[in-house]
C-alpha cells in the first residue's frame, strides 16, 4: 500500500495541499483535505488513490 505525504499550508481562505512528488491541490478546510487529495490522485491516474494512506502535515 502506498503512502502519500501532504504538506498543508494555510493560504488566504484555503489550505494549499502539496502532495510530495505528485502535485498541488487545495481544500477549504483541513477536514476536507484527505478527500481532495484522493480526488487529485485519482484524476492524476494513481490507481491506489482510494486505498493509499494519506499523511497530512499542517505547517505554520
Instruction: Report CA-CA distances (Å) from 14 to 31, 37, 49, 50, 51.
Output: 12, 14, 22, 23, 25
Dist. CA 5–CA 54, nearest whole Å: 6
Instruction: List, for residues 6-44, the tens digit of each pLDDT value.
Output: 999 999 999 999 999 999 999 999 999 999 999 999 999
* 58 and 49 Cβ atoms separated by less than 8 Å: no
pLDDT category at 1 given cuts 50, 70, 90 is confident
Ranges of each domain in the chain:
3-59
DSSP bridge pairs for 59 = 9
Provide the pLDDT for residue 60: 85
Dist. CA 27–CA 12, nearest whole Å: 11
CATH topology of domain 3-59: TTHA1013/TTHA0281-like (3.30.2390)
Please give the model's pTM, rounded to 2 decimal places: 0.93
Amino acid at each position: 500500500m502506498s503512502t502519500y505525504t501532504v504538506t498543508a499550508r494555510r493560504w488566504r481562505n484555503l489550505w494549499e495541499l502539496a502532495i510530495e512528488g505528485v502535485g498541488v491541490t487545495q481544500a477549504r478546510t483541513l477536514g476536507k483535505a484527505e478527500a481532495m487529495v484522493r480526488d487529485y490522485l485519482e484524476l492524476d491516474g494513481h490507481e491506489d488513490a482510494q486505498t493509499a494512506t494519506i499523511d497530512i502535515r499542517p505547517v505554520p
